[in-house]
Amino acid sequence: MTRNKMKLQYIGKDTKRKASFKKRKKGFMKKVNELSTLCGVDACAIIFSEYDAEPEVWPSPLGVQRVLARFGRMTEIEQNQMMMSQESYVRHRIAKAEEQLRKIQKENRHKEMTYVMYRFLAGDVPQNLGMMDLNDVGWLLDQNIKDIQKKIEAAKRQQNVSQGTMAVVNEVPRTSGDDQNGVAEGMKMGAAADWSMMSPVQDHEWYMDLLRPDVHSGVDETLLPIAPHNTCLGPNYFMFL
């Protein structure tokens, strides 16, 4: 079972306050010991209470004097740099909570205006909208329009690149099925060419031409190019020996 979060305030009932003091004092001493042992830092604790005649110290009176002497040798600026009182601690917690609250309010406002924007687009005009609401919806619409324009421009650039690649492929000379001498000459040139200079698209077109029956019929198979051993051929590629 999860523990309920205790409200941070003075415990009015004496017996309950005394029991809470003993329990939390033991836990506090344990945490100070863990901090000093695990992290290798000098730490001490002095606790005055109405339940004990003498103050309780950790780790020992001599250890407390040593830590306080080291603290006293520091300059006033160094002493106050990381010092935090109960008031400053509470102020820090309040500031942090207010910052989280503003962040959540901003997220909720964005979601609310997004919902209103979709209602506008669906033809359902909300009622009782103030000038601030309309300004926020207008700003949200402008941001969405800018995002859509960026996506359209990116798609156009991608299309231009694809069209340029297709134009290069279309410029590759194609051999006719009736001209066997031209096919044989092209095979000789392909065998002597550097395979590493061919793009994947040209390589695919080259082998597809060789695999067509009307092109390959009647051609001396010994003239076909043989790929080097380090050439990776796909499953649709054949090599005639």
Distance, in Å, from the CA atom of 116 to the CA atom of 37, rounded to the nearest integer, reads 57
Question: What number of other Cβ atoms are within 10 A of residue 81's Cβ?
Answer: 9
Please name the residue ranges forming H helices in 40-85. 61-72, 76-81
Distance, in Å, from the CA atom of 190 to the CA atom of 204, rounded to the nearest integer, reads 13
| Residue 188 tokens, joined | 């000789």
Residue 168 has pLDDT above 70, yes or no: no
Distance, in Å, from the CA atom of 37 to the CA atom of 39, rounded to the nearest integer, reads 6
Residue 215 has pLDDT above 50, yes or no: no
Query: What do you get for the CA distance between the two ends of the chain, in Å?
Result: 77
Residue 219, amino acid: V
Q: What is the pLDDT of residues 69-123, one digit of tens each?
A: 998 998 888 888 878 888 888 898 899 999 999 999 999 999 998 888 888 888 8
If one compares 84 and 46, the residue with the highest pLDDT of the two is 46
Mean pLDDT of the residues in the chain: 75
Residue 213 has pLDDT above 90, yes or no: no
Residue 82 CA from chain centroid, whole number: 33
Residue 167 has pLDDT above 50, yes or no: yes
Q: Would you state the pLDDT for residue 211?
A: 44
Find the mean pLDDT for residues 131-154. 89
Find the mean pLDDT for residues 169-178. 53
User: Which residues does 211 contact at the CB level (< 8 Å), separation at least 6?
Assistant: 236, 238
DSSP 73-135: TS-HHHHHHS---HHHHHHHHHHHHHHHHHHHHHHHHHHHHHHHHHHHHTT-PPSS--HHHHH
Distance, in Å, from the CA atom of 65 to the CA atom of 73, rounded to the nearest integer, reads 12
> pLDDT band for position 200 (50/70/90)?
low
> pLDDT band for position 6 (50/70/90)?
confident
DSSP 116-132: HHHHHHTT-PPSS--HH
Find the mean pLDDT for residues 55-64. 92
Find the mean pLDDT for residues 138-155. 89
Q: Which of 33-37, 41-45, 116-120, 195-199 has the lowest mean pLDDT?
A: 195-199
CA-based torsion, 223, 229, 231, 232: positive or negative: positive
Q: Which of 24-28, 36-40, 121-125, 130-134 has the lowest mean pLDDT?
A: 121-125
> pLDDT band for position 16 (50/70/90)?
very high
Q: Would you state the pLDDT for residue 68?
A: 92
Q: Would you state the pLDDT for residue 85?
A: 82
> pLDDT band for position 218 (50/70/90)?
very low
